[in-house]
């Protein structure tokens, strides 16, 4: 395997230390992905230089001109504090003619706008929950077709930002209150979609022309009562005490209805291609009690930390963590050799 010069691009606050011995899980959590990626790539023999980015493209240009990397490993999830600006940073890398990992700007743009993605998937006859968008500085009025209960969240924010148990609303008063919360506290437009009761499953997928689909993963709440809302809130994803309290974990999905083991991966591939995704992504779906699959979101460049859903499902599919990162790099290098 050729040893590469890899520029690992990440948020400036998340540049990891060289060693984490002595730190608690809570202390490591903010930069765990960045540490796992950088340390593993170094263990593979690559020359890795972390690059912290905030709001200045010149930092990227100067690092590339100075170090001339073979590829940029993109771990950036925002730019200048705006989640959707990561697509512009990727576009900038393309203008510089530098290969990079992960999804391209078109796929990021289409997937980040949850309403636009749902409209495209509907066009391709892929089932999504019914929904409505509530822009800021507009009157908040629910369309009659939209039935309760509803799930209210940011139209563009990632990492479950703004999602809690209060995101599930049962009437117009609750909906208006939650939409205003998204407008004022998160600072984005809001989307309210039909709440689908059922099993939450994730499908990891990677590639460009040829796609590799990993085993179906499921989010579990092992200590929650049967009538409790099983949703991936921000606490469910990032609060260790909350995870322990409710027995929140994820694992390979078992006892799926007949035919689902083949149907769900096929739907994942259709989503990936319909939204112009490449690199790697995770598809979030709900399996309802009546056996229907609803697509909740497509997540390009999902969480890459060792032990998280994407890496765990890849490992279950026969691709350990080091191999997974190398394959992601290989896909990025192939993109750099073909026309945009």
The pLDDT assigned to 317 comes to 95
User: Does residue 219 sit in the same domain as residue 301?
Assistant: yes
Tell whether 88 and 143 lie within a shared domain: no
pLDDT at 241 over 80: no
What does R_g of the chain's alpha carbons equal in angstroms? 20
Chain segment 102-136, per-residue pLDDT in tens? 999 999 999 999 999 999 999 999 999 999 999 99
Residue listed under structure tokens 């940029």: 72
CB atoms within 10 A of CB 294: 18
Is it the case that residue 233 has pLDDT exceeding 70? Answer: no
**Residues 181 and 277 both lie in one domain:** no
- Contact of 70 with 6, CB cutoff 8 Å: yes
| Predicted pLDDT of residue 339 | 47
Residues sharing a CB contact under 8 Å with residue 48, sequence separation 6 or more, in sequence order: 6, 8, 38, 41, 42, 73
Mode of pairing for the β-strands spanning 5-11 and 71-74: parallel
Could you tell me where the DSSP H helices lie in 239-299? Answer: 240-246, 260-274
The span from the CA of 123 to the CA of 118, in Å, is 9
Same domain, 330 and 203: yes
Task: State how far the Cα of 36 lies from the Cα of 39, in Å rounded to an integer.
Answer: 5
In this structure, how many other beta carbons lie within 10 angstroms of the beta carbon of residue 232?
18
182 and 205 part of one domain: no
Residues 40-61, mean pLDDT to the nearest whole number: 97
Rounded-to-integer distance, Cα 10 and Cα 76, Å: 4
Please give the share of the chain, as a percent, with pLDDT higher than 90.
Answer: 76
User: Could you give the C-alpha distances from 179 to 118, 130, 303, in angstroms and in order?
Assistant: 19, 17, 27
Q: What is the mean pLDDT of residues 63-84?
A: 94
Buried b (16+ CB within 10 A) or exposed e, 68-78: ebbbbbbbbbb
Q: Is 228 left (phi over 0), alpha (psi -120 to 50) or beta?
A: beta
- Angle separating helix axes 114-123 and 105-112, nearest 10 degrees: 100
Q: Do residues 138 and 180 both lie within one domain?
A: yes
Residues 166-217 have pLDDT tens digits of: 899 999 999 999 999 999 998 999 999 999 999 999 999 999 889 999 999 9
What is the CATH classification number for the domain harbouring 10? 3.40.50
Structural domain tally of the chain? Answer: 3
Q: What is the mean pLDDT of residues 302-311?
A: 94
What is d(CA 95, CA 98) in angstroms, rounded to the nearest whole number? 8
User: Same domain, yes or no, for 210 and 267?
Assistant: yes
Q: Report phi then psi at 330, rounded to 5.
A: -60, -40
- Nearest-CA neighbor of 194 among 128, 125, 120, 106? 128
Q: Range with the lowest mean pLDDT among 17-21, 54-58, 233-237, 264-268?
A: 233-237
Q: Is residue 114 part of a domain?
A: no
Domain shared by 169 and 291, yes or no? no
Same domain, 216 and 243: yes
What is the chain's mean pLDDT, rounded? 91
The mean per-residue pLDDT over the stretch 138-167 comes to 87
Q: Which domain holds residue 89?
A: 5-100
pTM of structure? 0.90
State whether 164 and 214 are in the same domain.
no
58, pLDDT greater than 80:
yes
Q: Provide the pLDDT for residue 340.
A: 46
Within a domain: 111: no
The answer to the question of residue 117 being in a domain is no
Give residue 117's region: left, alpha or beta (phi > 0; psi -120 to 50).
alpha
Say if residue 337's pLDDT is above 70: no
Q: Which residues are CB-neighbours of 306 under 8 A, at least 6 positions away?
A: 32, 36, 40, 321
């Amino acid at each position: 395997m050729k040893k590469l010069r890899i520029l690992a691009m990440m948020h400036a606050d998340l540049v990891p230390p060289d060693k984490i011995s002595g730190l608690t899980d809570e202390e490591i959590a903010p930069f765990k992905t960045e540490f796992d990626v950088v340390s593993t790539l170094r263990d593979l023999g690559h020359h890795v230089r972390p690059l912290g980015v905030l709001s200045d493209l010149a930092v990227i240009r100067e690092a590339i001109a100075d170090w001339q990397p073979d590829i940029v490993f993109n771990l950036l999830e925002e730019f200048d504090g705006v989640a959707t600006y990561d697509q512009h940073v990727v576009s900038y890398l393309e203008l510089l003619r530098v290969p990079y990992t992960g999804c391209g700007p078109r796929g990021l743009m289409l997937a980040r706008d949850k309403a636009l993605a749902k409209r495209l998937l509907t066009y391709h006859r892929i089932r999504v929950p019914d929904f409505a968008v509530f822009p800021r500085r507009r009157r908040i009025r629910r369309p009659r077709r939209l039935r309760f209960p509803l799930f209210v969240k940011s139209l563009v924010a990632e990492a479950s930002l703004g999602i809690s148990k209060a995101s599930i609303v049962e009437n117009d008063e609750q909906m208006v209150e939650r939409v205003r919360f998204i407008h004022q506290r998160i600072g984005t437009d809001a989307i309210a979609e039909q709440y689908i009761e059922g099993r939450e499953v994730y499908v990891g997928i990677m590639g460009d022309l040829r796609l590799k689909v990993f085993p179906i993963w499921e989010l579990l709440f092992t200590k929650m009562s049967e009538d409790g809302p099983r949703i991936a809130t921000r606490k469910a994803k990032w609060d260790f005490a909350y995870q322990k309290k409710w027995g929140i974990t994820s694992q390979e999905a078992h006892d799926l209805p007949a035919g689902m083991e083949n149907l769900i991966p096929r739907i994942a591939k259709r989503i990936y291609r319909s939204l112009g995704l490449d690199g790697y992504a995770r598809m979030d779906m709900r399996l309802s009690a009546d056996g229907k699959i609803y697509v909740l979101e497509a997540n390009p460049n999902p969480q890459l930390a060792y032990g998280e859903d994407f890496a765990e499902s890849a490992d279950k599919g026969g691709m350990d963590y080091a191999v997974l990162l190398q394959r992601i790099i290989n896909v990025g290098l192939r993109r750099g050799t073909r026309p945009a």
